[in-house]
């Protein structure tokens, strides 16, 4: 299981989630931050502190944000 960062992060990018992630699996991109779906241990801490409610567990991502599941994964596939 993984957590996913969705559209509300775009343009906000305050990095608060990065500071609390115990496994350092949240990485900065040009427009938003992304969660590495392989490294994430699904602890949920990032979801609880995001000021714009941009983070959800994979299975709770709403339909209109589902494209962000692939967008997060693709960021790490490129590396
Ligand atoms: S759920 Fe936990 S491990 Fe996964 S990205 Fe958030 S803080 Fe990091
Ligand atoms: S805490 Fe929320 S808004 Fe801030 S970088 Fe993380 S996902 Fe984006």
Q: Are 73 and 5 in contact (CB under 8 A)?
A: no
Residue 47: give the domain boundaries: 3-77
Res 29: pLDDT = 96
Cα of 46 vs centre of ligand 2, distance in Å, is 8
Number of domains into which the chain is organized? 1
Res 78: pLDDT = 65
Res 68: pLDDT = 98
Mean pLDDT per block of 10 residues along the chain (79 residues) reads 97 96 97 97 98 98 98 88
DSSP code string of 16-57? HHHHH-TT--EEE-SSSEEE-TTT-----HHHHH-TT--EEE
Angstrom CA distances, 5 to 32, 40, 58, stand at 8, 12, 9
Query: Would you say the CB of residue 42 lies under 6 angstroms from ligand 1?
Result: yes
Counting ligands in written order, which one lies closest to the CA of residue 6?
2
* CATH number, residue 10: 3.30.70.20
Report the distance separating Cα 47 and Cα 12, nearest Å: 15
Res 79: pLDDT = 60
């Amino acid at each position: 299981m993984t957590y996913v960062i969705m559209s509300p992060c775009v343009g906000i990018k305050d990095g608060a989630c990065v500071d609390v992630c115990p496994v350092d699996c949240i990485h900065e991109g040009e427009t938003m931050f992304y969660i590495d779906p392989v490294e994430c241990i699904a602890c949920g801490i990032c979801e609880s502190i995001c000021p714009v409610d941009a983070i959800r567990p994979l299975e709770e991502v709403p339909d209109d944000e589902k494209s962000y599941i692939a967008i997060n994964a693709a960021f790490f596939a490129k590396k």
